[in-house]
A = this chain, B = another copy of it.
């Protein structure tokens, strides 16, 4: 799996925060419960995102987390990189003299091409493209 569970959690949490942005800080507990993410673990992820400036955290009563950026201004690429670090595609373990062309091996180019393609897809989407729609009206849906 290229992207970890941590990424999944973080991404969904951010989606959730994007939705509540206007309504002030959301507590860790709320997010964890709604999204069914282990609270302590989510805490770590959010702390990490707070340090990177993606979310802001407020302590004390009526504290919680708020999205600190415009949803439409932050790309998937950026978010994923901030949570998981850069996506490493391939590491060649050959010694120089074993590599086909020594420093100019086609393989390196292929894999850097792969990396670029990944980045290019992920850069085309921003947080704003993903909305946490509450599935409002308790799901029995249609009419009433």
Stretch of A8-16, A21-29, A49-57, A65-73 at the chain-chain interface: A8-16
In the assembly, how many copies of this chain are there?
Answer: 2
Which residues of B lie under 8 Å from residue A87 when comparing CB positions? 2
The answer on a CB contact under 8 Å between B106 and A8 is no
Q: Using C-beta atoms within 8 Å of the partner chain, give the interface range for chain A.
A: 35 or more
Instruction: List B contacts of A106 (CB < 8 A).
Output: 125, 129-130
A100-B8 in contact (CB<8A) = no
Q: Could you mark each residue 106-129 of chain A with 1 if its beta carbon is under 8 Å from any beta carbon of chain B, else 0?
A: 110011011001101110010001
Residues of B within 8 A of A120 (CB): 117
What residues of chain A have their CB less than 8 Å away from a CB belonging to chain B?
Answer: 1-3, 5, 7-9, 11-12, 15, 34-36, 76, 87-95, 97-98, 100-102, 105-107, 110-111, 113-114, 117-118, 120-122, 125, 129-133, 135, 139
